[in-house]
Amino acid sequence: MQRFRRLLGYLRPYRGWFAAGLIAALFASVLDGFTFTLLIPFLRLLFGAATAIPDAPTLVERVMHAVAAPLLGDGDARTALAAVTGLIVAVVLVKNMAVVMAGYLAVSIQESVARDLRVELYGHIQKLGLPFYQRTKGGQLLARVLSDSEQVRVGVSSALVSVLRNGALIVVYVGILFALSWRLALVTLPLAPSLALIMRPILKRVRARARDAAEARGVLAVVVAETVAGVRLVKTHTAEPYERRRFVEAARGHLRELLRAQRLAILASPLSETLGAVVIVLLLLIGMPGATGATMRPEVFVAFIAVTLRLMSPVKAMTQFPVLAAEALAGADRIFEMLDQEPDDVDPPDALTFPGLEREIVFDDVWYAYEPGRWALRGIDLTVGRGEVVAIVGPSGAGKSTLVDLLPRFIAPQRGAVLVDGVPLSTYSRRSIRQALGIVSQETVIFNDSVRANIAYAEPGATDAAVEAAARAANAHEFIVQLPDGYETQLGERGTRLSGGERQRIAIARVLLRDPPILILDEATSALDTESERLVQEAIARLLEHRTVLVIAHRLATVARADRIVVLDGGRLVEAGDHAKLVSAGGLYQRIHEFEQLTVNG
């Protein structure tokens, strides 16, 4: 119930719509009940009975006679019958107009709630730090933002329809049944409580099964996302059959969990229908004229049966709601599980704006571990002066990327501190720090947008001249103008229309346009052909000018222009100096250099 109350809290902004829909639903329900009670005078007229009110009339008969008397008048039965029929048609038309209004308001609310939930979830995800994304698969995130919120939307929709329409109908119909015969109404009333008792243990299992199905759907999304992201690799290694098997297995798992949930969910309808049939049989046995001394007039009994049958539909719909609510809560559980994660990429209100680098960046005895006890950085002491280019080298897993991730505050030191001009980096807001940084990573990100939009991603207000100047400086202008629509060419998802070198130059142009004073460069020329590498290296040379730069160097040939080289191994800083000094020192750098020379020459 706590989860459900939290979910219903998303209805608060739409209280006005809800109230209007409720009024429309109540009005439609009253008119719906009114059309059924018109059966009594209609049947009396149809079978030639007197138009006058009968002896010992029920409350409903007295009300109907008062309403229908002006229509019946003193005319013949045919004229009176036509008048009652016309009244029924008119009431049905007005009722359905109210039904349409109530339905439209319900749909508007449900879609708005789904939108609000998705927006809140997406905004919250943006506040989570890099470690969250490293341990969470993209397909699972996609499933929660889209599929789980859709599942919640269906539950909210069912709740609205049930409350606005079926709940009101049940109240009206039960009132009519009591007005016709309170004794027979007492036979009908136990229907809903009986169904609730029967369904309670089933609903608990439905929710658990629905959550398992949602997890399986997330696995399915992960397979699709990974296959699409790695389509080049898949096709290069002719791995389509393997990926198809992965997808088929994930689809089977999703189907298996879905069927387990639906096996229980579909029990609601036959259970309610069976119980309804039992109630009708009891009514026929107890209330039929002539049975057990009953004295109900035929037209009243027929109207009672008609209203009881009509009551089955909203009761059945209401019994479906707990099932849908259980499935919706399963989706809500997964969404709230993510919303309840403490945001770790947000700043306190008193965070200062980063004023810029004046003297130096200091990594002071910095330690960091992704998992307890497994240190990625161990006591790093490093000073980077303003305007200095420092290259960071070392074997895979040495901690190079972890070290530079501290600067934009993607992660925070667990021991020690990062200082800028003597002030802890944590003093400044993440946004202001990142605005002073430029990052060109090995994994170049290109969005499914135009070339212009990709270059101006961080500076959307940049002029065309500024975008073109950045592209020229990045050696990208020449190939851009040869694209079908030049700077307006749509690059496709992940920039599949471009080569690796072209994507890299677009990324460099993006940073040049922003013109940040501090640069992190994850050198990515190793997979490029000779000409592309030359063009990228020229662009990088322009990028390094008049900036403070940390370069993660995967090949020692790229560190020649660095002012200083630091060597990491096992999370520790083991060597520092220029190229010549380190080559002659006989340490790890010399071994890496010799291995690279052997690779190049042989």
Q: Are strands 548-552 and 518-522 parallel, antiparallel or unpaired?
A: parallel
pLDDT above 90 as % of the chain: 14
Question: Per residue in 571-594, is it b (16+ CB within 10 Å) or e — as a string?
Answer: bebebebebeebbeeeebbeebbe
Q: With DSSP H G I counted as helix, E B as strand and the rest as coil, what are the percentages for the chain, rounded to 5?
A: 65, 10, 25
Q: What is the per-residue pLDDT across 163-220, written as a single tens digit (0 to 9) for each?
A: 667 777 778 878 877 877 777 777 667 655 665 566 666 666 766 676 677 677 767 7
The tokens describing 377, both together, are 């950085």
Scanning 127-163, the segments in alpha helix (DSSP H) are 130-135, 138-142, 149-161
564 forms beta bridges with 390
The tokens describing 18, both together, are 């809800």
pLDDT band at 420 (very low <50, low <70, confident <90, very high): very high
Question: Per residue in 509-543, is it b (16+ CB within 10 Å) or e — as a string?
Answer: bbbbbbebebbbbbbbbeebeeebbebbbebbeeb
User: Given a cut of 70, is residue 277 above it in pLDDT?
Assistant: no
385 forms beta bridges with 360
Q: What residue has token string 């992960």?
A: 222
Q: Give the residue-averaged pLDDT of 96-101.
A: 88
The tokens describing 490, both together, are 């749509």
First and final CA of the chain: distance in angstroms?
70
User: Given a cut of 60, is residue 294 above it in pLDDT?
Assistant: no
Which position has the higher pLDDT, 208 or 73?
208
For the chain, list the domains and their CATH numbers: 2-339 (1.20.1560.10), 360-601 (3.40.50.300)
pLDDT at position 336 is 84
The tokens describing 143, both together, are 């499933």
The one-letter code for the residue type at 154 is V
pLDDT band at 72 (very low <50, low <70, confident <90, very high): low
* 201 burial type by CB count under 10 A (0-12 exposed, 13-18 middle, 19+ buried): exposed
CA distance 455 to 505: 10
pLDDT band at 316 (very low <50, low <70, confident <90, very high): low
pLDDT at position 539 is 75
CA distance 464 to 493: 23
pLDDT at position 418 is 95
Lowest-pLDDT choice from 119-123, 276-280, 508-512: 276-280
Q: Give the residue-averaged pLDDT of 272-296.
A: 60
Residue 442: CB atoms within 10 A of its CB come to: 15
Residue 307, phi then psi, degrees to nearest 5: -65, -40
Helix orientation angle between 59-72 and 15-37, rounded to the nearest 10 degrees: 80
Q: What is the per-residue pLDDT across 11-23, written as a single tens digit (0 to 9) for each?
A: 888 888 888 888 8
Q: Given its phi and psi angles, is residue 428 left (phi above 0), alpha (psi -120 to 50 degrees) or beta?
A: beta
User: Given a cut of 60, is residue 49 above it in pLDDT?
Assistant: no
Q: Give the residue-averaged pLDDT of 533-549.
A: 77
Instruction: Please write down the HEC assignment for all residues of 173-225.
Output: HHHHHHHHCHHHHHHHCCHHHHHHHHHHHHHHHHHHHHHHHHHHHHHHHHHHH
Which position has the higher pLDDT, 585 or 212?
585
Average pLDDT taken over every residue of the chain: 78
Closest CA to 476 of 499, 458, 442: 499
Cβ-proximal residues to 566 (8 Å cutoff; 6+ apart), any chain: 382, 390, 391, 392, 393, 573, 575, 576
DSSP for residue 456: T
pLDDT at position 228 is 61
Lowest-pLDDT choice from 131-145, 223-237, 446-460: 223-237
CA distance 283 to 277: 10
Answering whether pTM is above 0.85, one says no
Q: What is the per-residue pLDDT across 477-528, written as a single tens digit (0 to 9) for each?
A: 888 899 888 899 888 766 667 877 888 888 888 888 888 899 888 765 555 5
User: Given a cut of 60, is residue 529 above it in pLDDT?
Assistant: no
Beta carbons of 569 and 395 less than 8 angstroms apart: yes
Closest CA to 94 of 22, 138, 30, 28: 28
Residue 148, SS3 per DSSP: helix
Which position has the higher pLDDT, 66 or 594?
594
User: Given a cut of 90, is residue 379 above it in pLDDT?
Assistant: yes
Q: Give the residue-averaged pLDDT of 299-320.
A: 73
